[in-house]
């Protein structure tokens, strides 16, 4: 059964459809959007090997022809050179403003292709076909697109909403365990930021998600997407409430930059560590009970996820450099770094007056350099 979450953004409204088998019937799902029976697919090598043939067959079954561009995998693909490659390919293919481009992949492909679609002919439509848990619950929904630069993560981009999101639960079966757990870091974030009952549910059902329970997986995706959709509708361009979705991300983005956007630290792993740090900082500031960060860490431990800086392979920069990387984050406003802190499980809020000494002390202890 297909579950649908509607993202009610007026003229930019769209549906997120969640079900097994969506790639197999992709043509029927997408056909209503097309002005002509042709689409352009951008994907990456690993995803193409697993899912491109299924997508192409689904399109062909509905009489839709397709062309595909296959890129290198990894966070390094979210870059100027690959953005240029995608845009130039779409232009060479004579993609028109009324056409539809398909982003088949995880968060890297979705962000890159969405940005290319945003700037191509001043905006063409695109459909997200997220193949990772992280992309299904987070990056494919909400219209944030972009690339990384030497100065930091996602510092260049645009808000460009997709026309449709197809979250096929079946494709999650092909994820390596590490990638699935990285995506779970974003799922946990939703419970921690605004839904204590969802976090309770995850404490009970998290192990079943990892073991492949498709009913539980579909429910986790639906609840995550619904929460994100509700926030995006209230604050599409992150002027207020949408900042709550960045719980854990101030620490995470600095750690990703510190590890060179490499596979030393996957994004969702950084989110999990960042959430644990955000709750620890909240407790140190007297905002929440010490039981809350303990409970967060206990669940991450239960799920065999990263939770400490010491879980990251290799050396990390010193405190000063980490703070400098955090200061480059998009969440800096008027020179002040905003943190998403919590008054308890499911009670996140935006804080702009966090004492620098408290952050420095937290990082010193986390790095074992206190």
pLDDT at 178 over 80: yes
Query: What's the rounded Cα separation, in Å, for the pair 293 and 35?
Result: 51
Residue length of the chain: 370
Instruction: Please tell me what DSSP assigns to residue 130.
Output: E
Q: Does domain 3-174 have CATH number 3.40.50.1970?
A: yes
**What's the CATH number of domain 178-367, 3.40.50.1100, 3.40.50.620, 1.20.1090.10, 3.40.710.10?**
1.20.1090.10
For residue 339, the SS3 value is strand
The pLDDT > 70 percentage for the chain reads: 97
For residue 369, the SS3 value is coil
pLDDT class of 338 with cuts at 50, 70, 90: confident
Q: What is the pLDDT of residues 59-72, one digit of tens each?
A: 999 999 999 999 99
pLDDT class of 264 with cuts at 50, 70, 90: very high
- pLDDT of amino acid 337: 79
pLDDT at 370 over 60: no
- pLDDT of amino acid 158: 97
- pLDDT of amino acid 47: 98
Query: What's the rounded Cα separation, in Å, for the pair 128 and 107?
Result: 10
- Rounded to the nearest integer, the mean pLDDT of the chain is 95
Run of H or E including 88: helix 80-92
Q: What is the pLDDT of residues 102-125, one digit of tens each?
A: 999 999 999 999 999 999 999 999
Concatenated DSSP letters for 240-300?
SGGGGGGTTHHHHHHHHHHTTTSTTS-HHHHHHHHHHHHHHHHHHTTSS-THHHHHHHHHH
pLDDT at 164 over 80: yes
- pLDDT of amino acid 210: 95
Q: Can you say how many angstroms the Cα of residue 295 is from the centroid of all Cα atoms in its chain?
A: 24
Q: What is the pLDDT of residues 281-326, one digit of tens each?
A: 999 999 999 999 999 999 999 999 999 999 999 999 999 999 999 8
Query: What's the rounded Cα separation, in Å, for the pair 317 and 315?
Result: 7
Concatenated DSSP letters for 193-227?
HH-HHHHHHHHHHHHHHHHT-HHHHHHHHHHHHHH
pLDDT class of 170 with cuts at 50, 70, 90: very high
- pLDDT of amino acid 34: 98
pLDDT class of 331 with cuts at 50, 70, 90: low
pTM of the model: 0.94
User: Domain limits of the chain?
Assistant: 3-174, 178-367
The residues assigned a catalytic role are 122, 144, 186, 228, 238, 242, 246, 249, 253, 267
- pLDDT of amino acid 330: 56
Q: Do domains 3-174 and 178-367 have the same CATH topology?
A: no
Q: What is the pLDDT of residues 2-58, one digit of tens each?
A: 999 999 999 999 999 999 999 999 999 999 999 999 999 999 999 999 999 999 999
């Amino acid at each position: 059964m297909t579950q649908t979450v509607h993202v009610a953004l007026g003229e930019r409204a769209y549906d997120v459809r969640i079900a097994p088998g969506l790639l197999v019937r992709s043509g029927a799902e997408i056909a209503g959007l097309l002005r002509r029976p042709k689409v352009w697919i951008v994907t990456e090598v690993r995803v193409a090997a697993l899912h491109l043939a299924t997508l192409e067959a689904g399109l062909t079954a509905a009489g839709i022809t397709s062309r595909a561009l296959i890129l290198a995998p990894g966070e390094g693909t979210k870059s100027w050179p690959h953005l240029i490659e995608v845009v130039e390919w779409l232009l060479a293919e004579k993609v028109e403003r009324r056409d539809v481009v398909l982003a088949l992949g995880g968060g890297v492909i979705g962000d890159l292709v969405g940005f290319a679609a945003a700037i191509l002919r001043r905006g063409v439509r695109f459909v997200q076909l997220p193949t990772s848990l992280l992309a299904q619950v987070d990056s494919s929904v909400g219209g944030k697109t972009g690339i990384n630069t030497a100065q930091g993560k996602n510092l260049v981009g645009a808000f460009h909403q997709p026309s449709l999101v197809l979250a096929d639960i079946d494709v999650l079966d092909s994820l390596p365990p590490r990638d699935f757990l990285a995506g779970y870091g974003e799922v946990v974030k939703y419970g921690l930021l605004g839904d204590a009952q969802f976090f309770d549910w995850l404490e009970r059902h998290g192990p079943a998600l990892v073991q492949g329970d498709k009913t539980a997986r579909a429910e986790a995706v639906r609840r995550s997407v619904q929460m994100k959709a509700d926030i995006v509708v209230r604050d599409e361009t992150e002027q207020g409430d949408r900042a709550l979705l960045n719980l854990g991300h101030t620490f995470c983005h600095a750690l990703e930059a510190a590890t060179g956007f490499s596979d030393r630290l996957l994004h969702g792993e950084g989110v999990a560590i960042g959430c644990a740090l955000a709750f620890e900082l909240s407790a140190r500031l007297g905002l929440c009970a010490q039981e809350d960060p303990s409970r967060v860490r206990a669940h991450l431990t239960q799920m065999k996820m990263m939770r400490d800086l010491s879980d990251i392979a290799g050396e990390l920069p010193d405190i000063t450099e980490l703070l400098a990387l955090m200061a480059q984050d998009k969440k800096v406003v008027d020179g002040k770094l905003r943190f998403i802190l919590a008054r308890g499980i499911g009670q996140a809020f935006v804080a702009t007056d966090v004492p620098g000494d408290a952050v420095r002390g937290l990082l010193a202890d986390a790095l074992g350099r206190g």
